[in-house]
Amino acid sequence: MPAYKDQVKGTWYTQFYYETWTGERKKKFKRGFSTKREAQAWERDFLDKQQANPDMLFSSLVELYMEDMKSRLRQSTIENKKVMINLKILPYFKDLSISSIKPTHIRRWQNKLLKMNYADTYLKTINNQLVAIFNYAVKYYDLKENPCHKAGSIGKKNATEMQFWTREEYNQFIPSVANKPNSKVAFEVLYWTGMRIGELMALTPNDIDLDNKQISVNKSYQRINKQDIITEPKTPKSNRIIAITGFVCDDLKKYMDMIYELEPTDRIFNFTKHFLTHEMKRGCKLSGVKKIRLHDLRHSHASLLIELGFSPLLIAERLGHEKVETTLNTYSHLYPNKQNQVVEALEKINLESN
């Protein structure tokens, strides 16, 4: 594996032929290395990637993983993965070959994370991302086994205590933001429909059917790299029609009538998530209501429906969950325990049959 010195610049370069995955023979040239060893190492790692060699560096595996995921995941998801991987995973593993990473490496990395006082759900998310990268290597790059499986997991899938507002808390909060119609109506829609933040901010007049009292959710808004991006909703089931109350219809109509020259395809809530987060903090401070996240308004709507006695299936359809199991797993602790009612019903059947 030769490397060559640029006599003019005093740096090293490498050039070689390789075969692509389609069988095409191509030439590769790379210059600007400080030493011969760096040039040779770069060539070796490049060829390992091309040949699906498990001796490739972890950083190279991440490049392959992210490139593959680009066409399969939403852009916002890709951006979130980048941040997490670059800050929490690559600094520890990037210079190791994937075949040399053992469960002990994973455990030491986990222990570092545990000392950072992150939320349990965040720890679980980071760990799951590393598991996914190694699963990718096992499936497509001949890595014998995923070292994360022996190392075990950290964190928790669900928060110990779900945050949400009761109807009383919401009614106490909403007057505190009434001086800004865009904020007030946005919170009204979020609380009384349970839609996601991105779904709310993508709404246009075309999506609002005031006559039939319903909202069509068919897209999502993201602010990525200082650009406004409209994407498909999170999942196929997220494409849905949400029935709304008459008072929400009235609020939406008054608000849209206030917007100057509003076109049918214009965004109704033309602001960012950061703005709405600031408004929620302002409203909580003025009203004295406990602070929750914007996403917790979705949980608040779900808890309200559970309180009113609606079934998990209906709630799943309204929230746009892909599976009813998601609804049950997320909100199971909010459903009242009806074991005593079951026993009473069984006792009654038994008495009637005797």
pLDDT digits (tens, 9 = 90+) for 167-221: 999 999 999 999 999 999 999 999 999 999 999 999 999 999 999 999 999 999 9
- Looking at the structure, do residues 104 and 174 belong to the same domain, yes or no? no
At 228, the pLDDT band (50, 70, 90 cuts) reads confident
* pLDDT greater at residue 31 or residue 152: 152
At 240, the pLDDT band (50, 70, 90 cuts) reads very high
Is 346 within a domain? no
Of all residues in the chain, the percent with pLDDT exceeding 70 is 93
CA 52 to chain centre: 29
Between strands 214-217 and 12-19, the pairing is: unpaired
- Looking at the structure, do residues 137 and 178 belong to the same domain, yes or no? no
Q: For residue 63, give the CATH number of its domain.
A: 1.10.150.130
Which pLDDT tens digit goes with each residue over 9-22?
A: 889 888 887 776 55
- Contact of 18 with 42, CB cutoff 8 Å: no
Residue-range definition of the domain harbouring residue 59:
4-151
Collect all residues with Cβ–Cβ distance below 8 Å to 53 and sequence separation of at least 6: 47, 141, 142
Q: For residue 177, give the CATH number of its domain.
A: 1.10.443.10
- The reported pLDDT for the residue numbered 233 is 87
Query: How far apart (Å, rounded) are the C-alpha atoms in residues 310 and 269?
Result: 30
Is 314 within a domain? yes
Report helix angle 312-319 to 324-331, nearest 10: 110
264 token code pair: 């049918």
- Looking at the structure, do residues 186 and 326 belong to the same domain, yes or no? yes
At 303, the pLDDT band (50, 70, 90 cuts) reads very high
Alpha helices, H only, 116-262:
120-140, 147-151, 167-173, 181-193, 197-201, 246-258
- Looking at the structure, do residues 175 and 145 belong to the same domain, yes or no? no
Cα dihedral 343, 348, 350, 354 in deg (nearest 10): 160
How many distinct structural domains can be found in the chain?
2
Q: Is the pLDDT of residue 277 over 90?
A: yes
pTM of the model: 0.71
Mean pLDDT of 222-230: 84
- CA 126-51-39 angle, to 5 degrees, is 85
Mean pLDDT of 120-138: 94
At 51, the pLDDT band (50, 70, 90 cuts) reads low
Query: How far apart (Å, rounded) are the C-alpha atoms in residues 188 and 203?
Result: 14
Query: How far apart (Å, rounded) are the C-alpha atoms in residues 322 and 229?
Result: 23
- Looking at the structure, do residues 225 and 310 belong to the same domain, yes or no? yes
Of all residues in the chain, the percent with pLDDT exceeding 90 is 58
Query: How far apart (Å, rounded) are the C-alpha atoms in residues 196 and 320?
Result: 9
Q: Is the pLDDT of residue 289 over 80?
A: yes
